[in-house]
Amino acid sequence: MAGMPVATRKHRRGILGIESAIVMIAFVVVAAALAFVVLNAGFGTTQKSKTTINEGLKSATGAVEVAGLVQGRGNTAANPPVLQFYSIPIKLASGAGEVNLQKDLTAVRYSSKSVSYDNIYAGPNRVSASFSDVLSMLGTVDTNCAINGAGTKIWDGSAYNAPTKTCAIVWWSNSIQDNDILDGGEVAVLTIVFKSGDQPQQLDVLKSELIISGGSVLTVERTVPEITTTVVDLG
């Protein structure tokens, strides 16, 4: 009789050891599951952060850049002399993909010391001739850019006629594919044509912003120099 309690006590110690092991295993499994969930959530957050950063960099980094000198046409006969239009050559920035310059996907914001416009973009114009022909065809792109809105030529080959509305067009000086997309190797030209009351004088500060799909913005700011010739170099 004296030995039976001892045997019972040893048996109970074995059961407690097994229960402790089961509880410990359960804790380990739960901890592992929680760790997996936390790690998985962390990986997901990291991926989302990476995507957000990449998108931010893509928007912040300009898709296009200035490809040469900004030049305009001066009217020295006016008193004081004024700038009738000016052109900004553009190309794709290094590493950037093609840019769609269709009217619905693009905007041009313009401001000077005296005027400010949210969007003056009339659209792209594909021609394989001289810039004189571009101005001649401008009325067909947007009738608001033509004289009296009737399609009258802004440039008739010898004389310049100011449009009824300050507007901007994009044309291609170097084209590979005939479409409204700026591809690698191509050079497009953003030209801003002024109506009579908006034509800037010397020392005026011109700021144009080409806003393309995706939020990328090309900002070009120039000061009008002294206008003494027909060709005005804005740098």
> pLDDT band for position 143 (50/70/90)?
low
Determine the Cα–Cα distance for residues 170 and 108; give it in Å rounded to an integer: 10
Mapped onto helix, strand or coil, the DSSP state of residue 142 is: coil
pTM (two decimals): 0.70
Q: Render pLDDT for 3-60 as a digit per residue (tens, 0 to 9).
A: 445 444 444 555 556 666 666 776 677 777 776 676 666 655 555 545 544 444 444 4
d(CA 169, CA 123): 5
Tokens coding 81: 């002399």
Q: Report d(CA 164, CA 143) in Å as an integer.
A: 9
Of the listed ranges 53-67, 81-95, 191-205, 216-230, the one predicted with least confidence: 53-67
Residue whose C-alpha is closest to residue 212's, from 75, 48, 78, 61: 61
Q: What is the DSSP letter of 201?
A: B
- The CA-atom distances, in angstroms, between 131 and each of 49, 101, 118, 127, 233 are 46, 18, 25, 9, 17
Between CA 49 and CA 75 the distance in angstroms is 53
For tokens 């009258």, the residue is: 152
Give CA angle at 195 (171, 234), nearest 5°: 60
What digits encode the pLDDT tens for the residues 110-128?
A: 999 999 999 999 888 765 4
